[in-house]
Each structure stands twice: as structure tokens, then as C-alpha cells.
């Protein structure tokens, strides 16, 4: 065995390096056989008072106090014109819930919590790279630093 691949007597599998001279296949096998790091045990979330774990009462309170959102009419939420790049599917505010593929927006809440349509858009479309709102017809007040 080449010297750089010979493990030291006190080295474990995780500490044994595989060098580039070992070849790409040895490097791939080494990466595939590494043991994952052990995760720290999760601590239960505590109620705001910090004395005991949260229960149904706190859950119901949080769900009753969901953030206020705009109506579709307020945001001018509508079907995007053919070929328009600015649409909900590529907006910073658009999310898909993995559990059931339900589409939501952090700004707009349709009636009855219906899906946000990925091919639609609103005047608050944003790519997440800046705070500009290119589709907003009115000029927004300047931010104060």
C-alpha cells in the first residue's frame, strides 16, 4: 500500500485521509463510506416564560395571531401576461409547502387559504436580490436609515 494511504496505527476510519494520488474512485468510495457526524440531541422548545414546554394553549394562541396579509385585490394579484418573467413561481415571497405542495405567499392570502398560482403575479413581485418592486405602479416612500 502506498505510504500516504497507510493509516497510522492509532487512526480511525474517519481520520484516514485519501489523497488525490489514490485516484478518483478511491476518493468517491472514501466519501461514501464516511460515517455521518452525530447530531446533538434536540432540546424541547420552551414556552415564552421558559418554565415548561409549550402546549396546545400556546399553539392556538400563535395560530390565532397569524400575520396579517394583503388581499389579492390589494396586491393586484392576477394572471401574468404570456412570457412575463415576473411571476409568483420565481418571486422571493413565494413558498411551496413540501408536505402537500400547497403554494403560499408571505404577502398575499387568497380567500379560504387557496393556493397561490405559480403562473400569476402581483405588483409586489421581488427577485430577492434587492428591495426594489419593479411592478409596483406607485413609488414607494424612501427608506430612512
- Residues 116-131 pLDDT 10s: 999 999 999 999 998 8
User: What is the structure's pLDDT at 105?
Assistant: 95
Are 122 and 88 in contact, with CB atoms under 8 Å apart? yes
Q: 45 lies in a domain?
A: no
Q: 134 lies in a domain?
A: yes
Q: 6 lies in a domain?
A: no
CATH code, 123 = 4.10.490
Q: 117 lies in a domain?
A: yes
Instruction: Provide the domain limits for residue 120.
Output: 68-138
Structural domain count, the chain: 1
Q: Residue 24: is its pLDDT beyond 90?
A: no
Question: pTM for the complete prediction?
Answer: 0.53
Q: 39 lies in a domain?
A: no
- If residue 56 lies in a helix (H) or strand (E), which one and from where to where? helix 56-64
Q: Which range scores top for mean pLDDT: 43-47, 110-114, 121-125, 133-137?
A: 121-125
From residue 20, alpha-carbon distances to 31, 35, 120 in Å are 13, 20, 50
With cut-offs at 50, 70 and 90, classify the pLDDT of residue 21. low
Q: 21 lies in a domain?
A: no
CA distance 67 to 59: 14
Are 66 and 72 in contact, with CB atoms under 8 Å apart? no
User: What is the structure's pLDDT at 90?
Assistant: 94
Q: 95 lies in a domain?
A: yes
Q: 80 lies in a domain?
A: yes
Amino acid at each position: 500500500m502506498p505510504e500516504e494511504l497507510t493509516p497510522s496505527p492509532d487512526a480511525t476510519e474517519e481520520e484516514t485521509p485519501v489523497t488525490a494520488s489514490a485516484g478518483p474512485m478511491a476518493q468517491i468510495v472514501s466519501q461514501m463510506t464516511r460515517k455521518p457526524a452525530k447530531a446533538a440531541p434536540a432540546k424541547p422548545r420552551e414556552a415564552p416564560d421558559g418554565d415548561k414546554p409549550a402546549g396546545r394553549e400556546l399553539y392556538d394562541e400563535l395560530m390565532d395571531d397569524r400575520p396579517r396579509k394583503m388581499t389579492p385585490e390589494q396586491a393586484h394579484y392576477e394572471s401574468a401576461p404570456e412570457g412575463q418573467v415576473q411571476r409568483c413561481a420565481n418571486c422571493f415571497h413565494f413558498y411551496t409547502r413540501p408536505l402537500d405542495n400547497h403554494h403560499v405567499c408571505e404577502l398575499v392570502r387568497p380567500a379560504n387559504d387557496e393556493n397561490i398560482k405559480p403562473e400569476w403575479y402581483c405588483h409586489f413581485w421581488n427577485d430577492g436580490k434587492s428591495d426594489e418592486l419593479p411592478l409596483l405602479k406607485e413609488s414607494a416612500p424612501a427608506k430612512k436609515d
